[in-house]
A and B are shown apart, each in its own frame.
Chain A
Amino acid sequence: MMEFFDSQLYQRALVGALLIGFSNGFVSAYVVMNRSPLKLSALSHSLLPGIVLAVWLVGLTAWSAFIGAVSVALLMGLSSVWLAKKTPLDQDTVLAVLYTGCFAGGLAMLNRLQLQQELEGWLFGNILSLSNADLWLSFSVGVLAVVVFSLFRRSILMVLFESEVAKTLGVPVNLVRYGVFALLIMVLMTTFQAVGCILAIGLIVMPGATVRQLTHSVTALFCWSGIIGAIGASLGLLVSYWVDLPAGASIVLVQIIFFIIAFIYKILIRYKA
């Protein structure tokens, strides 16, 4: 065990897990209230080609990856709305078509652009490869998430609760929606490095889903989701070291155990009462 804490590689990974776990957990409160986990899952898969293309064009920096991801996300969001209008298909079907298409395109590009060795990293993450710059980025995104949700809490919650009424009361609904959307993409991006784009959705949904079972308070939901996210991610990393599992899978498995514990606890409470 001491070996784990002595190794700089693992120290950095642990800090990364805490940071990424916290920011994902914190925003998962929003994702759960917005009923958007499956849409977000589609989105996280479709970010891949945008990132790959941007990395290929201008090299890997936080900004190039972010701009690539946002462009694809916007393109997919808008075209899914447009296609749903122009075809007899519903938006979920259109999203499924688009995101698998995007994902396949991303895989093909990784292959063709000789980025094969990075393929696994993007798909399943590599939390042990986090650089100091990556950690700083994760830290900044986490701070930004807390600041944005605290500062615009009233507007964000009103848009979530009843967007049309919020609009008539003077809330800048579109600004709030797009702002939060951009923030979610930033959080997802930092998550990709840790657990990859397939498992990322677990981190940005599960803590909120766990805590929502236990609380009716919005503040508690945000704070505890952040804490559970951080604990789950770091514990998952430790477990992966102990039993020699891929870190991403281990982190998500710990989160689902938390979810099941909350569910059973809730049933026991009801049974006693």
Chain B
Amino acid sequence: MKDCCNHNHSGEHELVVQKLSVTYPGGVKAISDLSFSVTCGHRLALLGANGAGKSTLIKALVGLLPINKGLNQGEVLWRGEPLTKSTQEIAYLPQLDKHQTTVPFTVKEVVAMGRYPYVGNTRNYSQHDHEEIEQALELMNLQDLAKRQINELSGGQVQRAFIARAIAQKAHVLILDEPLNGLDVESRRQLIELMHTLSYRGHLVISSHHDLRTVHETFDKALVLDKEQVAFGDVAEVMQLEAVKESLGIID
């Protein structure tokens, strides 16, 4: 498999969050004072109870929430530059029930969405675009399903189609919102394996996560949130901290 990021330059492929605070209109603080950094090749879990700020952080990372506007403060840097300059390098994979099932898209059409930053609204797909799409389908083992309707697929297959879209997009960073939700045991196992493969290829995988039993096997880094930063670091160390256990409700 080809590497996504050049490991010799892994310092350049770093996502840095500095003193990030997000306040919603009405003055409700969603997250305050988050600071962490993580490089390509890692799998970062976002942990915390409902309302702890995981979704807000995800929205800020994918560029759906304006940073440095209104009451929002702080910085998100990707490769040393503000995130807004390289949005196509960050792929967003929302929860499975977020897409509109009434749109009769085939798997291939969903994957082709990933080429939008390169072709825009009107340009035709070039030979190169088609190759990227085919390659992404092949990597996710979706060639046989390419012409099938996305609505006919199982949750695990849809998730793979969305990852293929991120690969066609040539994204370095994949940001997933509760990807294991609604998947059966086998699909969960496959997706966890896939997340490992992606990080070995050099992608940075960031995912909000609920199931504390699968944190260790799925991720190598963890960020624990409770509207503010409870802890950040290697999964094994973070999960041992008293503050984390208390925040996540873990009983020894």
Show the binding face of A for B, using Cβ within 8 Å. Answer: 32-35, 151-152, 154-155, 157-158, 160-162, 164-171, 212, 215-218, 221
Contacts and interface: CB of A to CB of B under 8 A. Distances in A.
Contacts of A35: 100, 102
A164 to B, nearest CB: 6
Interface string B174-197: 000000000000000000000000
Nearest to A171: B116
A154 B121 contact: yes
Interface of B: 62-64, 87-88, 90-94, 98-100, 102-105, 110, 113-114, 116-117, 120-122, 149, 169
B105 A161 contact: yes
Contacts of B104: 33, 212, 215-218, 221
B98 A162 contact: yes
Contacts of A212: 102, 104
Contacts of B91: 168
B100 A33 contact: yes
A161 B102 CA distance: 8
A34 B117 CA distance: 24
Contacts of A216: 104, 149
Contacts of B103: 33, 157, 160-161, 218
B251 to A, nearest CB: 36
A168 B121 contact: no
A132 B93 CA distance: 51
Contacts of A157: 103, 105
A155 B99 contact: no
Contact of B169 (A164, A169, A171): A169
Contacts of A167: 63-64
Nearest to B106: A216
A158 B116 contact: yes
B117 A161 contact: no
Contacts of B105: 157, 161, 218
A167 B113 CA distance: 11
A85 to B, nearest CB: 10
Nearest to B120: A170
Nearest to A215: B104
25 contacts: A32-B102, A33-B104, A34-B102, A151-B121, A151-B122, A152-B121, A154-B116, A154-B121, A155-B121, A158-B113, A161-B100, A162-B100, A164-B64, A165-B92, A166-B113, A166-B116, A167-B63, A168-B92, A169-B114, A170-B88, A170-B116, A170-B120, A171-B121, A212-B102, A216-B104
Nearest to B103: A161
